[in-house]
Each structure stands twice: as C-alpha cells, then as structure tokens.
Amino acid sequence: MQPPEPTRPAFGCKLTMDTLKLPLHKSQKWTAEPKYNGWRVVLDCSTGKCYSRHGTRLSQEGMFRAAVDQIRSMFCDELIDCEGLGKRNKIASGSMIVLDRMTDQDYRHRTDPIKLMFPEFDGTLDQLRLLENEGGLAFSCPSIDPRDTDDVSNWLTKMKAFNDEHDCIFYEGVVAKRTDTEYIYGDTDTWRKFRFTYKS
C-alpha cells in the first residue's frame, strides 16, 4: 500500500535581494528552511521503501540505501518526508535531507528529534569532502526565523554563492513552514515556497 502524498507547499513569491522579508502573517508562527533541488521522497521506515511525491516507487531508491538505513535505525515505523540529493548535479549525491516526520504533532515535536539524531547539512568544503569518502549520509535541515531580514539576507547570499561556485542550482530558494500546525498531506498554505530569481 502506497503512503499518503507529502505536503505540497503553496507558492509565495520570487525571492531577490530586494524581497528579503517574506510575506507571512504576523500573528502566525513560522520557520524557514532551504529548498533543495533534489527528489522529494517519502520513506516508509517500516519497509525501507522510498516513494516519490506522486506516490509511486522511487526508481532512484538504490542510490539512497546507506542514508535510508541510517534513518530507519532511528525511526522504525514512521513515514519520513525527505529530500534526496543528486538529481541534477553530483553534490552530496546519495545523501538525504530529513525534512519532517509525517505525524500529527506540531513542527518542533516533529523535527527536534531529527535535529538531535542527524548532523545539519551546511555544504561546507569539509562536509562535502567527507561525503566523497563516505557516500550517502542522512542530514537534518537548518532553519531560521523568516522574519529576521539579516538571517534571510545571509542565507540568500550564501546559497547564491554556493550555486555560483558549483555552477548549478543546488539551492532553489526557501520553504516557510507554520510551526503551530500538524503535518498536512497534500496541498496546504501552512507551507509556502519562495523560489530564487536572480537579477542580471
């Protein structure tokens, strides 16, 4: 039996260095995470099977076996929302970003165990060298306050520099997530994606 589809975030707006303050309702609680250019994966930890965001078996499942085994050792029977790296470039190929546990808890209760169990993906040279030797690993996803324009500015600058340095679109933008709601399957505006656009 195939798992439910993962959260599909609503589109917010295009991101430039002039639109650092994300248009999020002031009375709501939000966090923000990088949006990676990879495969969206639903991992069924009870079976070790990987599914695409459309609910079909992921044909690239084999390349993530080491990362899948790591995640399954921590979350035995859960459905885990992940991003598989290596889709359009070879950076960290075979690794997985553990985005979320697909449960009815709020954001902190879902993601705090992830951050405790897996190192944060930061894309530093040392980390990338480690991956060249170790192969695919599981990582947690960094997060910031999306209303802190300094933090957002630093993120945009670092992501764009990383993309430019490696001559690829590894980072696609930012996903903002409500922290006071449970995980919602399918379409929802409790997650919003903000894609980069670069001025010439």
173, part of any domain: yes
60, part of any domain: yes
Question: Chain-wide mean pLDDT for the chain?
Answer: 88
Domain, as residue range, for 18: 7-196
What is the per-residue pLDDT for 21? 65
What is the per-residue pLDDT for 200? 39
DSSP bridge pairs for 193: 11, 175
CA distance 152 to 194: 12
Q: Would you state the structure tokens that stand for residue 7, as one six-digit string? A: 């959260």
Q: Would you state the structure tokens that stand for residue 20, as one six-digit string? A: 């650092």
CA distance 61 to 51: 8
Q: Please state the pTM of the whole predicted model.
A: 0.90
CA 15 to chain centre: 17
CA distance 1 to 20: 42
CA distance 31 to 180: 10
Residue keyed to tokens 């650092």: 20
89, part of any domain: yes
2, part of any domain: no
1, part of any domain: no
Q: What is the pLDDT of residues 77-113, one digit of tens each?
A: 999 999 999 888 888 899 999 999 999 999 999 999 9
Q: What is the pLDDT of residues 23-72, one digit of tens each?
A: 677 778 999 999 999 999 999 999 999 999 988 999 999 999 999 999 99
Tell which wins on pLDDT, 173 or 133: 173
Q: Write the CATH number for 142.
A: 3.30.470.30
CB atoms inside a 10 Å sphere around CB 152: 22
What is the per-residue pLDDT for 36? 93
Q: Would you state the structure tokens that stand for residue 69, as one six-digit string? A: 């085994």
CB 91 within 8 A of CB 122: no
- Counted domains in the chain: 1
What is the per-residue pLDDT for 128? 83
